[in-house]
Structures are given as structure tokens and as C-alpha cells.
């Protein structure tokens, strides 16, 4: 099983090591030039790409794919928008041919309003794709049982949502996310979806998650490159805080200056 690197503080996914713990989506950007500046500003090493963006009769997909190759990043194709096991598996197989990679971000959407993953279909699709040699990154909920079954299906990385895709709500269920991290301490966990601000990304990293994926919050910012840099710094800061050992919360105040050792006269005036 793939284990998140806790030593040299690099990120290891299916045996591939990365320096950056920020992954980025490539949709919704105003132009390829802005996307290029975003990747450079944040030093992103992994980007998600939808097969639907690449395919089609126009040559726009070819130009986009050429840009991705020029940037030298690792491509994580996804099955965005798929709503059945068959559709997701077929899309993944096509993506492997187009992008020449066994990596696939697996999405099987089960509910239209929230775009919540269908965990039953997700497990079935993951099992099929793993048998076909794919290295699957399942977009899932924070459900512990679903996580266990996805690992049993052969997944070595999990991508739990923070909140619904594109909502910008951050971490809707911190308790469940902390429980997920605690139950699977050696599994790389990447918080995906709903991350709307750098502070959301920092909070996820402070919980001990291994990476964060962001798209909408960066792409729709007034200055996407600056926002990408902010996210990169937030991810780094959150990770450093987690590694350093965060203080525990208290219900009551604790003086930063100890009473023991203070002069008696000072205590009397206090």
C-alpha cells in the first residue's frame, strides 16, 4: 500500500514523489496563459484534466494538451461528470489512451444538487479499474466504511471532499475528516472539492492531510496567479504547523507568564 512520506516531507503517490502538496484543476481559467502563470506561481506538480476538455472535434483540445506538456506537470485525468460505473470505466479507459498514464481520478456522481459521490458505484468502478492496471484516485466522501472498501478494492490514495464541488464552503465536517485521518494514518489523503480560501487549505493540512486539490477558488479569483501562490503558502504553512505539533485547545485560559518566580510585591499588586 502506498504510504504518505512523513520523513523528508515530500509527497509520495503510487511511488512517485513530489515536492508540492498543492494539486490544481485546470478548468474555468480565462486563458491558457493564466493557467500557465498559476502553475508557475504555485509550483504545482500535478494537475487534473477532464477527458471532455481534451476531446471533441475542434483543435482546442490539442492546443490545451500541448500546453500541459510544455508545463512539465504530472497529469491526473478525471472522470468528471460520470454518473454510472459503466460510464466512469469507459471514460477512464479512454483517458488512459489519450493521456498515456495509468493514473485516474475516479468520479461517480450520485446526486445532482450536491454532486455527492455515489460510494457504491465508486467502489465497483475502482475494483474494475484496479484489475485493469489503473492507479485510482477516488473522489469520495469522508465515510469510513466507504474508505475501507475503496482500499480493499485496490486504491492506494483517497480524495475525500471538504464540501460540495465548487461550493467554496471549506471543511463541512471537520469531525468526520479528523476521524478519517486517524483511522487511516498511513494512507495518502488529499482533500478535494469545496476548498474556497487559503485558510481552508491550511486547516486541512493542520489536520494532517497529505495534500489539497483546488480549482474553482483559484480559477475564479480576480488574480488567479496570486491566489494560487496564497494557496501554496497556506498548504506549506499548514503542513509545517502539523509537523511541528499544534497546541491542544483548552476550555480555560492559561497564563503565558507563570506565577511561580514572580516577586511577592508584584503578586500583591496583581
∠ CA(117), CA(119), CA(122), 5° rounding? 90
Pick from 133, 132, 77, 74: which is nearest to 107 by CA? 77
The reply to whether 105 belongs to the active site is yes
Is residue 229 within 8 A of residue 39, CB to CB? The reply is no
∠ CA(43), CA(49), CA(54), 5° rounding? 130
Catalytic entry in 86, 105, 149, 178: 105
- On the CB side of 13, CA atoms within 13 Å amount to 27
| Exposure string for 246-258, b = 16+ CB within 10 A, e = fewer | eeeeeeeeeeeee
Distance, CA of 195 to CA of 234 (rounded, Å): 12
Contacts of 164 (CB under 8 A, 6+ apart): 114, 115, 116, 193, 194
What HEC string does 113-129 produce? CCCCECHHHHHHHHHHH
Annotated catalytic sites, by residue?
105
Amino acid at each position: 500500500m502506498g504510504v504518505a512520506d512523513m520523513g523528508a516531507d515530500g509527497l509520495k503517490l503510487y511511488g512517485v514523489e513530489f515536492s508540492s502538496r498543492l494539486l490544481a484543476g485546470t478548468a474555468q481559467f480565462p486563458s491558457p496563459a493564466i493557467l500557465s502563470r498559476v502553475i508557475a506561481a504555485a509550483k504545482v506538480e500535478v494537475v487534473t484534466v477532464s477527458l471532455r476538455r481534451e476531446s471533441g472535434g475542434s483543435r482546442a483540445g490539442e492546443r490545451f494538451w500541448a500546453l500541459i506538456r510544455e508545463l512539465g506537470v504530472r497529469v491526473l485525468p478525471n472522470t468528471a461528470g460520470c454518473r454510472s460505473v459503466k460510464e466512469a470505466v469507459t471514460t477512464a479507459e479512454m483517458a488512459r489512451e489519450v493521456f498515456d498514464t495509468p493514473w485516474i481520478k475516479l468520479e461517480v456522481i450520485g446526486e445532482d444538487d450536491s454532486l455527492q459521490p455515489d460510494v457504491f458505484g465508486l467502489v465497483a468502478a475502482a475494483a474494475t479499474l484496479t484489475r485493469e492496471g489503473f492507479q485510482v484516485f477516488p473522489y469520495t466522501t469522508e465515510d469510513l466504511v466507504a474508505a475501507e472498501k475503496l482500499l480493499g478494492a485496490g486504491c492506494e490514495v483517497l480524495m475525500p471532499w471538504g464540501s460540495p464541488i465548487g461550493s467554496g464552503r471549506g471543511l463541512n465536517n471537520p469531525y468526520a475528516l479528523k476521524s478519517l485521518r486517524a483511522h487511516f494514518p498511513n494512507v495518502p489523503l488529499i482533500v478535494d472539492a469545496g476548498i474556497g480560501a487559503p485558510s481552508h487549505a491550511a486547516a486541512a493540512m493542520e489536520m494532517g492531510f497529505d495534500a489539497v486539490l483546488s480549482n474553482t477558488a483559484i480559477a475564479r479569483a480576480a488574480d488567479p496567479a496570486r491566489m494560487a501562490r496564497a494557496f501554496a503558502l497556506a498548504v506549506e504553512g499548514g503542513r509545517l504547523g502539523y509537523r511541528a505539533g499544534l497546541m491542544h485547545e483548552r476550555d480555560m485560559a492559561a497564563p503565558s507568564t507563570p506565577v511561580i518566580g514572580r516577586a511577592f510585591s508584584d503578586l500583591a499588586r496583581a
